[in-house]
Amino acid sequence: MTLKQIHLTLLLSFSGLALGSGQLMADNSYGAIAYSGTSHISTTAQSWNSLQEAKNTALYNCNRDTPAKACYVPVEFQNACGALAIDYSGTWGGWWQSPSQAGGNGVNLALSHAKQKAIQACKQYAGPQAQCRVVAERCAVVFNF
C-alpha cells in the first residue's frame, strides 16, 4: 500500500464515505530484505501486492548498490515485520514476526521481536559469543480502518 492509498483511505473514512473492504487496498502486504555478503549491503522492500514484487524490488536495489551483483533474499514476509542480523564474519540470521503473533500488541512489538529473534538466529549459526547486529528491518502490514 502506498502512502497515497493510506492518505486517500483516511480522507474517505473521515469524510463519511463508506467503501467496501479491499477497494482501496490489498488484503496482503509483502516485504523482503536483500543482502550482499561480499559488499555487506542490505536493502528492503515493503508494502508490495505480491511476494515476487517485494523480492524483485529488494534484489534490484541491492544489486544496484553493490558492484558484485551478488545479492540474495534471506528474509521475506507477509503481513509482518522482518529483520536481518549479521556478525562481523558475515554469518547472518533472519526472522519475521506478525503483529498478531506479538499478542495483539501491534507493529512496534512485532518489529522488536523480529529484531531479537534475528540476533538469536545469527548467534545460533555464528556462535554465542558472536557480535551479531541488526542491519535491516522493515514491516509490511495492512491497516484496515
Query: What pLDDT, on a 0 to 100 scale, did the predictor assign at position 143?
Result: 67
Is the pLDDT at 91 greater than 50? The verdict is yes
Least confident of 53-57, 99-103, 118-122: 99-103
**High-pLDDT (> 70) share of the chain, %:** 77
Q: Do 24 and 8 contact (CB within 8 A), yes or no?
A: yes
Apex 23 CA angle, 52 and 59, nearest 5:
15
Could you read off the pLDDT of 48-81 as tens digits, one per residue? Answer: 999 999 999 999 999 998 887 899 999 999 999 9
Query: What pLDDT, on a 0 to 100 scale, did the predictor assign at position 144?
Result: 62
| Cell representation of residue 13 | 473514512
